A and B are shown apart, each in its own frame.
Chain A
Amino acid sequence: MRHGLYIGLVVSGAVFAVALGRLIPALSADGLPQVPGENVLALVLGDARQILGDAMLHKADEYFHGGVRDIACEHGLSAQDSHEAHAGHGHEAEEHEGEAGAPCALPGASRDPWVWLNARVHAQEHRHVEGDEARELLPWLWAACRASPKNIEALETSAYVLSRMNNRPVEALELLENGIRKNPESASLEFARGGLLLHTLHDAARAEKAFAEARRKCRPAAGPDGEDDRLLLIRTLFYLGYLAHQRGDRPAAEACLRDAEAVNPKHVVVQNLRNVLQAQ
């Protein structure tokens, strides 16, 4: 008798739990912290994924510098402007010819014996990974993208490392397109895609479409907060103007120049576009 009662209670409890599990999302879908269809990682970590993604990206940067932590390097892996600024100039080694192998002056010069020992036990020299070693960055970048699909910096850096440092532009393009699907509002990802299509895959038509998308999505805020977006807009307009000029569409190119001048007429990128259009 009692045994039957227990079974009944367990079964009814299970039915009640399943019913609640089905009802709650249906009745208050907007009030739930999880987004339907997200993976287990998203459900378990929630917003902590962004922090985890940043940590993985930081680790990749550490690997880029041969395991040396907290190094002051303006060409760090995460510096996106640096990626573009050095595009085609071999980011890996040349910039630091003078610095490579340079020991950190502070610990070496210290009279503190513990600091002296530490500086000799732990490598302090400034170096960058080169050639085949660049693939060592990929596990951490993959983990950064996987942990936080909304981490635009991780996606852009991974695409850069794949295409430029590992000669895998097709995989880089696939990664950026996946990133765009998950971050449809990101102008920066469209810009990166355009850059990859133009510089590495030499597909000007698709690149122009990507830059046009970037221009459409880029809406800089007023004031200092919108500074980065304004720079992105100017650079996008440069590429659009340049590609229109290449196609022989002079009015479209001049329209891009006018739009760029409206944002910041004295910017060096705007001056570059002006020079390109005045060249003929």
Chain B
Amino acid sequence: MSVGTRQLGALARLSVLELYRRKDLIVVFLLSAVILLPLAFFAPFGMTGASRYLNELGLLLVWLFSIVIGLGVSVRLFPPEFESRTIYPLLAKPVARETVLFGKYLGALAASVSALACFYLAYMLLIGVRQGVWCPLILAQAFVLHAGFLVMITALGLLGSLVMTTSANLTLCGLATVGMLTFGQRLPALIEAQPAPGRWVLQAIHWIGPHFEFFDLRQRVVHDWPPVGWGVLAGVTVYAVCYAAACLGLAGWVFRRKRF
């Protein structure tokens, strides 16, 4: 194993340990159980057998908590190091700045994806026990695309953590994420409906903004739609990797020029 790989591995392991040390996952699971368990026994108008509402709420919680964890981990990668000045001993070691940046990114991504895997496992258990369907193909696709979403959001959070304060970064990334998930699909219609200055802004958002809604397969999972084509899956994954690479490239450029 090369020195660079070992350095990357060590940096990434630190971020993963940080997530599990803070016990965020336990809180999230307890909260989900408190919300979902009473709903699992709900019989509207005395009729049992409805399950999509529970699947939808379960997946909504998975998305919500994955955003919280993904952003929470990535926006805190550098600011605490700058504030406590622990970045100096790190940079004093024979490790390139690009390696530090990429290692921390990999750590944040690994932490977020491992948490996501736990969420999907819990969701799979939920639908398996209730409906007897254990791992439909569409759920596997949903997990892959959701991981792609985390590839993008952690890169975006990391870039933000180098150019603004933690709270500003969290707010902006949170707004961008929720905004895109809510309105991303309707952006073309909104662009058509806007007069000139607003239209240009929306067009810029449409072309440059992160289209997180591409990764949201909740509708297909909940309502039993057929899986998406493999070409489409590959296209969306390539989009996520390219977008994350652009963010990381920009972050690398900022980090190289940053004066501490």
Q: Kindly provide the distance from the CB of A113 to the nearest chain B CB, expressed in whole angstroms.
A: 9
Q: Is the interface of B mostly helix, strand, loop or mixed?
A: helix
| A136-B51, A141-B44, A171-B46 given; A67·B219 CB < 8 A | yes
Whether the Cβ atoms of A166 and B47 lie closer than 8 Å is: yes
Q: Which A109-126 residues sit within 8 Å CB-CB of chain B?
A: 110, 112, 114-115, 117-118, 120-123
| A67-B223, A122-B185, A123-B223 given; A117·B239 CB < 8 A | yes
Interface hub of B47, B145, B216, B220 (most chain A Cβ within 10 A): B47
Q: Which residues of A contact B219 (CB under 8 A)?
A: 67-68, 122-123
Total contacting residues, chain B, CB less than 8 A: 33
Name B228's contact: one of A121, A143, A166 (CB within 8 Å). Answer: A121
CA distance A138 to B47 in the complex (A): 8
Whether the Cβ atoms of B45 and A66 lie closer than 8 Å is: no
B102 at the interface (CB under 8 A from A): no
Q: Kindly provide the distance from the CB of B215 to the nearest chain A CB, expressed in whole angstroms.
A: 8
CA distance A117 to B232 in the complex (A): 7
A162 at the interface (CB under 8 A from B): yes
CA distance A141 to B53 in the complex (A): 11
- Nearest to A122 among chain B residues (CB) is B219
- Nearest to B232 among chain A residues (CB) is A120
Total contacting residues, chain A, CB less than 8 A: 29
- Nearest to B231 among chain A residues (CB) is A120
Q: Is the interface of A mostly helix, strand, loop or mixed?
A: helix
Q: Which residues of B contact A114 (CB under 8 A)?
A: 206-207, 211, 214
Pull 23 A–B residue pairs with CB atoms less than 8 Å apart, ordered by A.
Answer: A63-B223, A68-B219, A112-B188, A114-B207, A114-B211, A114-B214, A115-B188, A117-B232, A117-B235, A117-B239, A120-B228, A121-B215, A121-B232, A123-B219, A123-B220, A135-B50, A138-B47, A139-B44, A139-B53, A142-B45, A158-B45, A168-B45, A171-B47
Task: Given contacts A117-B214, A171-B45, list 14 more A-B pairs with CB under 8 A.
Answer: A63-B52, A112-B188, A117-B211, A120-B228, A121-B213, A121-B214, A122-B213, A122-B216, A135-B49, A138-B44, A138-B45, A139-B53, A158-B45, A168-B47
Interface set of B (CB-CB < 8 Å, partner A) = 42, 44-47, 49-53, 145, 184-185, 188, 206-207, 211, 213-217, 219-220, 222-223, 225, 228-229, 232, 235-236, 239
